[in-house]
Amino acid sequence: MLTLTKDRALALALLLIVAVMWVESGTIRPPTSWQPYGSALFPRILLITIALLSIIILLRSLFTKVTPQPSLGRAITEWFLRRKTIVALFFLFGLYAALLPVLGYIVATMSFLIASFALLLGIDTKRKWAINLGISCIFVPLVFVIFRFGLNVWLP
């Protein structure tokens, strides 16, 4: 069975995206009588370029020796497990973006910082908690004051 390498995954993912976008480019309004080329021309040139480059990367990867790897499912699980901190940080940021309009800047940002520091610094000592809460409680209101009163930008 074919092993899924970085290059192969990249090429296949891009080819899939190109296919979806090519179909979508069919909905772009065709050129009018005075236009030599329509609005779909430029993105289609780029889609063809991306597809060609992806195919070259895919073909090249087929001629490169790769060490056999575990099954696809296990490989993906291992990838996520090795990067669980990164995945968790992405999740926290996504949650922050979702909760920002609901909870408002102060509560949402403070929660995000406290949770992120807890994730990265750890929660096993009082000193770490002091750093966590200290920085969160200083930075969040400080940024609010700078944006609201210094730059006249309203935060949610």
CA distance 34 to 101: 46
Residues within the interface to other proteins (CB under 8 A): 6-7, 9-10, 14, 21, 24-25, 28-29, 35-40, 42-43, 46-47, 49-50, 53-54, 56-57, 60, 83, 85-86, 89-90, 93-94, 96-97, 100-101, 105, 109, 112-113, 116-117, 120-121, 131, 135, 139-140, 143, 146-147, 151-156
Which residues, in sequence order, are CB contacts of 9 under 8 Å at separation 6+?
none
Q: Which is nearer to other proteins, 129 or 147 (CB)?
A: 147
Q: Which is nearer to other proteins, 70 or 97 (CB)?
A: 97
Which long-range CB contacts under 8 A does 134-139 form with residues at least 24 apart?
136/110, 137/110, 139/113
Q: Give the closest residue to 116 by CA, choosing from 91, 137, 134, 99.
A: 91
Q: Which is nearer to other proteins, 59 or 70 (CB)?
A: 59
Residue 34 carries which DSSP code? T
CA distance 73 to 29: 42
Q: How far is the CB of 19 from other proteins (least distance, A)?
A: 14
CA distance 136 to 66: 46
Q: Which is nearer to other proteins, 1 or 153 (CB)?
A: 153
Q: Which is nearer to other proteins, 57 or 66 (CB)?
A: 57
Q: How far is the CB of 71 from other proteins (least distance, A)?
A: 20
